[in-house]
Amino acid sequence: MKIKAGIVGGAGYTGGEMLRLLLNHPDVEIDFVLSSSNEGNLVSDVHTDLYGDTDFRFSGTLKQDIDVLFLCVGHGDAKKFLDANPIDKGVKIIDLSQDFRLKAAAGNDWVYGLPEFNRERIKTANCIANPGCFATAIQLGLLPMAAKGLLKSEIHINATTGSTGAGQGLSTTSHFSWRNNNLSIYKAFDHQHLNEIGESMVVLDPEFSAPVTFIPQRGDFTRGILASIYLDTDLSAEEALKLYEDYYADAAFTHVSKKNIDLKQVVNTNKGLLYVQKYGSKLHVISIIDNLLKGASGQAVQNMNLMFGLEERQGLRLKASAF
């Protein structure tokens, strides 16, 4: 029996990637793709990369006879949707918005869906709050240090994301003529993903109180996030490398490289790659992911695999574009 999946908000970037992944997942059958603005339209008319792969049409009707529901809607809209459409308790829910990531909003019903941090809880969860894209990249770079209580100094982060991170809606800063050959900073020092990062660090290290400085940047490319992180540590280069290799030894998608890394190694995959170096007293960690896959839809499918007892890489063995 295949897992029956429903998708709400299937017209955006994360919905499109969810469709691409689930159409090629051997253990999943898509039951419906809900989009009120596209009801009756062919999925391939909206997501033209799926032309020839499916004759599925968008639906305007929510069904309850499914096993898992993916919410690929905007921030604030997931909670509104669930308030207006109570879902049967037997249906597992994976939300890709930020509505349930923080404990104050999530209560006890939602589990934070970062497998490298919460794998065992995800396996038994009914409701998953998928992490943010920046939050995923940054936490992958910090989790090994937090787990050993080694985040004692100020943490400095500079991270650049592709234009798809802003969603499919048109805006001045997503327009090609503005974005191309351009670079800009936004939400310096107060990006919303800092909140979920802080909560995870405190779970691993209850005494965590180090200040975190985060400068996000808009890059002139389409997909991917590169986070450059540095902090003080007494660890030697060899000790730091071993710490990261040990922490991720059993991770399905996160790997520590001994060579410098670049975005083309992860674009179109669910991988997270890390590169760890020591410069004097500073530990420098580079963390890279595809913002739409490991930072969104791919991680959601990874969580689904864990929730249903599937092999974690099922449907996610993807090759990076690379060139």
Q: What residues act catalytically?
A: 133
Gap between the Cα atoms of 257 and 227, Å rounded: 15
Q: Which residue(s) pair with 231 in the sheet?
A: 283
Helix orientation angle between 133-147 and 193-204, rounded to the nearest 10 degrees: 20
Strand 68-71 vs strand 92-95: parallel, antiparallel, or unpaired? Answer: parallel
End-to-end alpha-carbon separation of the chain, Å? 38
Q: Using alpha carbons only, what angle is made at residue 80 by residues 79 and 85, rounded to the nearest 5 degrees?
A: 100
187-215 b/e (C-beta count within 10 Å ≥ 16 → b): eeeebebbbbbbbbbeebbeebebebebb
